[in-house]
Structure 1
Amino acid sequence: MPHFFTNKRLIILLGSIIVLVALIGFSLRDRENISWPEQFVKDVVGLGQTIVSKPASGIAGFFDDIGNLRNTYKENEKLKVRLDELAQLESDVTRLEKDNKELREIIEKKESLADYDPVQATVLAQNPDRWFDVITIDKGEASGVQPNMAVMTAKGLIGKVKSTSKFTSTVQLLSAHDPRNRVSAVIQGKKNVYGLIEGYDKKKNTLLMTKIPYDSKVKKGMAVTTSGKGGVFPKGLIIGKVKKLKPDQFGLTQTALIEPAAELRDLEHVMVAKRGMTTVLPEKKERKQVYVEEGNL
């Protein structure tokens, strides 16, 4: 009995192998259409792959998007830093170009200043409340700067030293609202016309030159310089050009609106005219009168 069952198992095993080989051979032959079991298996496997692959692809794409977003954020931050650096660089270039131009003009101006020694200085402060009145510079008594010395830029006169300390000085601008702030000036022409710079029109950005004789022939565009007769400002410092001429209310004299040669609202580099020789007037009375004109009582 046991021997029979052993033969039966062997017969079943051999039959199974024969069927398996037949199925393999059947599946390997060239066919246009596959059998329905194969179709069923392929469809089930394909559906399973679709169900699994789409969510997997979506999750993988989601994490890829997060990674890309992080990279984009980092790159954006780097670009912002570069843009900030570029803006600062452009600002530095503009400032340095302006400084270079001003310093070159000052060097050229120094070569033409024969009657006094120019002391180069930098503006330290300009009070917003007194923007048109005074500035503070970084040169003082230690550099030989004294009150009443003329102060200018490469383009022209801007004012005079009002007070000094050891290492700094306060400069009163030509535009300062001070009745004692006067400069003896001359309008250059075939016949020089003398007057006083006293006052400033903020709206028109012009200096006021008064005491011009009513019959003087003054035209627009004429150059205005210091006369050198006040004993304070050296002769020939450029102040500006005549912009307009108008008579005073009594018609006895005229007032000229002078367009300043130097920019009074944006000052950075200036020069102090340290005079080697002080002008000595022959009579004490005349000296006092001239000093009153230029506001140096």
Structure 2
Amino acid sequence: MLQLFKLLGNKRLFVILIALVMFIALMGFTLGPRASLSWPEKFLRDTVGFAQNIFYKPAGYIAGLFKDIANMRDIYKENEELKIALAHYTRDKVQYNLMEERNKELEEKLHFTNAQKEQNNYTYHITQVVSVNSDTVSRTLVIDLGERDGIKVGQSVISSEGLVGVISHVSNFTSTVKLITTMDAKDPNSNGISATALSNHKVFGIIESYDEVSKTLQMTQIKENDPIKVGDTIVSSGDPSKYPQGLIIGKVTKVQVSPFGKTKTATIEPAAEFQDWKMLFVVSQPEVPQ
């Protein structure tokens, strides 16, 4: 039995020695200068490469997927910011257009009032229309100036084109404007406007009615020999309580002799537009010392 253990021990030692020699030989063969790889090396490298394809590529795809998701979040955030910026731009563009339009309108109105001030020593209060009463019997406007702004009953209201009406009621913050299109000669409460021709102050008449059908004013009580003619610009001749001198009313479109042959009647096309109200002026005359 002892001899058997010795024999087996010698064989085991012999096998270990042979394996060690082969390992050293293999290492030397591998590390030495060679033009090609040995088949064990090729097998080992192919195995490693195959394993890398199996494990590394899916891992790369997953890493790329997470990166793409992060990029999509960034793109979504940038898109939201661009939408907000576009909304702000659209809002600012609208505000700019409104301001530009209002600035041009104010420039036109300022030119108008300066031209009027050169002729008459009146004060012009710029006002906005708050509401419109389109009732055929009582057509009125409500403006955003009132008693606190110095507005009084009887003051004239004009546009940059011509006479619009007269202040009929005043509250603290607003005023009611009665339009000249409500004038009716049969109404005892409808006061006429004394008027003349801008080019010839020898012309005199009273505008006291408005024709709803033809959309024109009627100027009556014109003397037979007054030199009024078609195309004349008619303006107010002046009134101590209302309708200051020089307010443009309209142009003559027709002149006819009255049935009795003593006076003439002129048809006047109003200069003011009685629609699409934007900006008006309240005319204040200088107060005359009592």
Q: Deviations over 1:10-61 (max 9, x none)?
A: 44134224314424557x7368xx9566445434533544444334434432
The structure 2 residue matched to 1:245, chosen from 251, 254, 257, is: 254
Runs of 5+ in structure 1 lacking a partner?
279-297
- The offset of 1:225, in angstroms, is 0.6
- Quick one: distance in 1 between partners of 2:66 and 2:81? 23
The structure 2 residue matched to 1:152, chosen from 138, 158, 164, is: 158
- 1:228–1:235 CA contact under 8 A, matched in 2: yes
- The offset of 1:223, in angstroms, is 0.8
| Larger of the two Rg values belongs to structure | 2
User: Where does 1:28-67 land on structure 2 (aligned, <5 Å)?
Assistant: 29=35, 35=42, 38-39=45-46, 41-67=48-74
Pair 1:99-2:118 in alignment: no
Q: Deviations over 1:138-163 (max 9, x none)?
A: 242773x4432323345432222213
Change (3 A) 1:80 1:235: closer
Stretch moving more, 65-74 or 263-272: 263-272
- The offset of 1:172, in angstroms, is 1.7
The structure 1 residue matched to 2:132, chosen from 110, 127, 133, is: 127
- 2:229–2:255 CA contact under 8 A, matched in 1: no
Runs of 5+ in structure 2 lacking a partner?
1-5
Pair 1:162-2:173 in alignment: no
Give percent identity, aligned residues only: 16
- Quick one: distance in 1 between partners of 2:282 and 2:131? 16
Change (3 A) 1:21 1:87: farther
* Residue of structure 2 equivalent to 1:228: 238
- Quick one: distance in 2 between partners of 1:195 and 1:100? 34
* Residue of structure 2 equivalent to 1:283: none
Q: Secondary structure at the match of 1:276?
A: coil
- Quick one: distance in 1 between partners of 2:258 and 2:29? 130
The structure 2 residue matched to 1:138, chosen from 125, 145, 151, is: 145
Pair 1:183-2:193 in alignment: yes
* Residue of structure 2 equivalent to 1:209: 218
Amino acid aligned to 2:29: A
Change (3 A) 1:251 1:134: farther
Stretch moving more, 70-79 or 163-172: 163-172
* Residue of structure 2 equivalent to 1:292: none
Q: Secondary structure at the match of 2:82?
A: helix
Change (3 A) 1:39 1:168: closer
- The offset of 1:239, in angstroms, is 1.5
Q: Secondary structure at the match of 2:285?
A: strand
User: Number of residues paired by the alignment?
Assistant: 268
TM-score (normalizing by structure 2): 0.69
- Quick one: distance in 1 between partners of 2:273 and 2:119? 17
Q: Secondary structure at the match of 1:186?
A: strand
* Residue of structure 1 equivalent to 2:284: 273
- Quick one: distance in 2 between partners of 1:230 and 1:90? 43
Change (3 A) 1:14 1:101: farther
Change (3 A) 1:228 1:249: closer
* Residue of structure 2 equivalent to 1:256: 267
Q: Secondary structure at the match of 2:181?
A: coil
* Residue of structure 2 equivalent to 1:109: 116
- The offset of 1:267, in angstroms, is 4.0
- 2:236–2:244 CA contact under 8 A, matched in 1: yes
- 2:254–2:266 CA contact under 8 A, matched in 1: yes
- Quick one: distance in 1 between partners of 2:260 and 2:44? 123
